[in-house]
Structures are given as structure tokens and as C-alpha cells.
Amino acid sequence: MNPTGQPGRAPASQAPTGAVEDACVPPPAGLTTDQLRGVNCVWCGEKLGLSAVDLGVRRDPQCPWASWFPRACPPCHRPRSTGGSR
């Protein structure tokens, strides 16, 4: 938790294995509502199931008060992960 009592993102040193750098995630402006909500893969747009990879809550750079929740299918996540394959 951060000083305001709200959950925050872990520092890079505490990022989970397989985390994706912010630069690798597409900008929210070009995504569908279902991609922003984590229903569809942030890269390929396919509907996600139980094997989806949560990419963490992100802040919208255009609207800093808004958050979005990208998730990915394993085939799209694997080549983009910073911690190797899962």
C-alpha cells in the first residue's frame, strides 16, 4: 500500500517473474473496451480464459486518474515477458 492507503504497483525489483515492461504494452488509446478491462488479450484481441496472464493495473497516461487492467494470452505474453517464459 502506498501512503494514501491505496494498493500500488510493486517496484521494478519486486516485479513478478514474467512481468512485461510498460513500453511493451500497447497504449490504451488504441485498445477496445474489452482489452482495457482484461476480457480480451491486449495484443491479439482474442477472448481470454483461465490461462490468461495478468499484466497488472496500469495508469492511463492521458487520464492519470483512470486505470486499466491489461491481460494477455500465454502465446502473446511469452515472447514479451522480461522474466523468460512461464
Is the model's pTM score more than 0.85? no
Residue 81, CA distances (Å) to 5, 40, 54 in order: 29, 18, 12
| pLDDT of 83 over the 70 cut | no
pLDDT computed for residue 84 by the predictor: 54
Q: Distance of alpha carbon 5 from its chain centroid, rounded?
A: 22
d(CA 13, CA 84): 16
Averaged pLDDT for residues 53-82: 90
86 or 46, greater pLDDT: 46
In a domain, 19, yes or no: no
Question: Could you tell me what percent of the chain has a pLDDT over 90?
Answer: 50
Domain count, the chain: 1
Domain that holds residue 70: 33-80
Q: Under DSSP, is residue 39 helix (H, G, I), strand (E, B) or coil? A: coil
In a domain, 60, yes or no: yes
Grid coordinates of 19: 512481468
Helices and strands per DSSP (H, E), number in the chain: 2, 4
